[in-house]
Amino acid sequence: MKLFSTVVLASALAVSGQALAGDAAAGKSAYAAKGCIGCHGAGGKSVVPTYPSLTGKDAAFVKQNLTDFRAGKRQNPTMNAMAAGLSDADIDNLAAYIGGL
Ligand code: HEC
């Protein structure tokens, strides 16, 4: 039982470590290169009401939602198309960058 809880704790730490593994500098480049900036604005501050601002959204939220858009679990034709081209590393990097805005 004690061994079991140690294993559970160790894997929980491994998972949260991964969530922080994104590279914010690479995410910043991808945010511009992949066109996110065109809708969500420089520094995540959207100037178009149709597009949500991303400032203040934390990295875990961004990662979860980009993963859900990519999988079609969260549906929005624009974001489903945008997320379709993202790799797991892109999502981690974008989450690290946006989470810090
Ligand atoms: C053509 C415009 C457009 C582009 C380009 C775009 N988005 Fe979006 N994004 C949207 C819209 C519209 C929504 C709101 C979708 C909805 O209502 O479900 C959204 C939602 C989101 C959300 C969820 C925000 C929330 O509060 O729930 C995230 C995160 C996000 N976009 C990230 C990105 C990233 C990262 C990129 C670049 C890879 C990107 N978007 C490119 C239009 C765009």
Q: Is 80 exposed, middle or buried (0-12, 13-18, 19+ CB in 10 A)?
A: middle
Owner of token pair 């520094």: 43
Burial 23-45 (b: 16+ CB within 10 A, else e): ebebbbebbeeeebbebbbeebe
Q: Do 91 and 63 contact (CB within 8 A), yes or no?
A: yes
- Please give the pLDDT value at position 10: 55
Per-residue pLDDT of 8-52, as tens digits, reads 555 554 444 444 589 999 999 999 999 999 999 999 999 999 999
CA of 9 to the centre of ligand 1 (A): 34
Nearest to 30 by CA among 85, 94, 89, 81: 94
> At residue 54, does pLDDT exceed 90?
yes
The closest-lying atom of ligand 1 relative to the alpha carbon of residue 94 is 35
CA of 72 to the centre of ligand 1 (A): 13
Does the CB atom of residue 70 touch ligand 1 within 6 A? no
CA of 52 to the centre of ligand 1 (A): 7
Does the CB atom of residue 78 touch ligand 1 within 6 A? yes
